[in-house]
Amino acid sequence: MKQRVLMTGAAGTVGTALWKAWEEQGSYTLTLMDINPIAEASSRVVQADIRDYAAMQELCRDHDVLVHLAYIRQDSLGKVSGEVSDIGASMTLFEAAREGGIQKIVYASTNHVSGWNERLDSPPRFSTGDQFRPDGWYGAMKGMAEIAGRYLVDAHGLRFISIRIGSFNGTSEPSGIRHCSTLLTPRDCVQLFSLAVDYAGAVKYLITYGRSANTDGYQQSYLDISGAVEVLGYQPQDNLVKTHLHKFLSEP
């Protein structure tokens, strides 16, 4: 029986890459949710707001896995009375998922959780999943959601896998030299998130970075994917260091 997967933020760049591939592969029974319209999908589509607790709880009741990609963008950071921040929305969604019977949350996090490592040294310090050095409120709130996931695992037995995406532009073409280290290509993104959705091993809580291979054996990306490789079985197919780095190094 196919896993029933609820995806938030499905209208975004990452979400679109995932659901198009998953529909083509017939991998899961999908429900695609976003506050914005989603066109051309053959799966069930629900237009809703992740801040609507009742709606989220009702949706979660019919699913096994939550793939949480949505992000609440805001400039005021709670300075407006009654405004819900991204971490507030994520915690509400996680609780709705728990009460609704979700068994696993696959969370789209960001390298910005440890983004300060890029400012400390050149080349950047190596970033691992146990590090929290956010370079702004965006990274800080993503890190807080990962900590909330730790609580769900310990207190309620859910499985929580966080993928700190390096860079994703919907293509396999880096837009600068940094992308040669950080870029996660669409096919590697689909592989990584699929492995996370399917994983049923002993590890209940995992934080890993999401990038393509991006190494030449000597020069290594500074984002650690060892958890994805060793726990999930991730085998990235694209390597921007080998295929594209020389193009940027040769530019005048």
Predicted pLDDT at 78: 63
Predicted pLDDT at 244: 87
Percent of the chain scoring above 70 in pLDDT: 97
Sorted by where each starts, the structural domains of the chain and their CATH numbers stand as: 4-249 (3.40.50.720)
Predicted pLDDT at 73: 83
d(CA 8, CA 70): 5
Is a pLDDT exceeding 80 seen at residue 215?
Answer: yes
**Among 76-85, 104-113, 156-165, which is the least confidently predicted range?**
76-85
Q: In sequence order, which residues have a C-beta less than 8 Å from that of residue 129 and are 6 or more positions away?
A: 162, 164, 206, 207, 208, 209, 224, 227
Q: What is the DSSP letter of 83?
A: P
pTM value is: 0.95
d(CA 188, CA 236): 5
Predicted pLDDT at 77: 66
Range list of H helices, 116-220: 117-120, 137-156, 179-182, 186-198
Is a pLDDT exceeding 90 seen at residue 92?
Answer: yes
Structure tokens at 191: 């592989």
Grade residue 248 by pLDDT with cuts at 50, 70 and 90: confident
Quote the mean pLDDT of the chain: 93
Predicted pLDDT at 252: 58
Across 133-172, b (16+ Cβ under 10 Å) vs e yields bbbebbbbbbbbbbebbeebbeeeebbbbbbbbbbbeeeb
**What is the torsion angle, in degrees rounded to the nearest 10, for the CA atoms of residue 64, residue 41, residue 55 and residue 93?**
60
pLDDT, one tens digit per residue, over 178-193 is 999 999 999 999 999 9
In this structure, are residues 221 and 184 in contact, taking their beta carbons and an 8 Å threshold?
no
pLDDT, one tens digit per residue, over 44-71 is 999 999 999 999 999 999 899 999 999 9
